[in-house]
Amino acid sequence: GAVVSQHPSWVICKSGTSVKIECRSLDFQATTMFWYRQFPKQSLMLMATSNEGSKATYEQGVEKDKFLINHASLTLSTLTVTSAHPEDSSFYICSARDSDRGDYSNQPQHFGDGTRLSIL
Amino acid sequence: QKEVEQNSGPLSVPEGAIASLNCTYSDRVSQSFFWYRQYSGKSPELIMSIYSNGDKEDGRFTAQLNKASQYVSLLIRDSQPSDSATYLCAVKARQAGTALIFGKGTTLSVSS
């Protein structure tokens, strides 16, 4: 089945550090990937839609200069949390859909295992 | 604002019982509906998808969709302790490139 690999799985760093999270589709191509954030006991909130070869589309309230997204190839999207602060501590999850299957509504999204970010 | 609403629970059922999870959505152009299961500290895993009105069965799971009422549900028969998790309802619009919109999830606890 379709596999999405997310790395790292856990990051602990000091306030002010920038952290990069990678999301790779291992056995399919994804022109679009999605980045979600989940706070404890909350649902997954869509942060941005990452588009291969073009700028990401950010959801309302998400700072594009703080959460930098790069989707340079059909299998890799990266999210960089710049100058992270304790309030950025959260569970970050990426997902992707197989582009070769078309963007039909009934195609499921495949999720990475998530990255738990803790900012001290 | 597109919204997906779920009762947060917890929903507690004894082992072997039927668990019923409900979800309503606000966006009438929603076309696809998914149920994901999420264990604590893990990412969601897909359980069921449904696109047409009516019932869809897969093993112990049955998804039900009523687009007129903007309502989707998940029934889990013969509930097992391993089913204890948070169940997320997700909705997708028909437009190309749109992401899933998730509800807050219902926590299910199955006691042995």
What count of CB pairs under 8 Å joins A to B? 52
B41 touches chain A (CB under 8 A): yes
CA distances from B97 to A32, A75, A94, B50, B111 (A): 7, 16, 15, 19, 40
Q: Among A78, A54, A60, A59, which residue's Cα sits nearest to residue A68?
A: A78
pLDDT tens, A20-43? 999 999 988 888 899 999 998 888
Reply yes or no on whether the pLDDT at B59 is more than 80: yes
B29 touches chain A (CB under 8 A): no
Mutation target for A interface from B43, B56, B101: give the one with most A CBs within 10 A. Answer: B43
pLDDT tens, B76-90? 999 999 999 999 999
CB contact under 8 Å between B49 and A106, yes or no, is: yes
CB contact under 8 Å between A46 and B88, yes or no, is: no
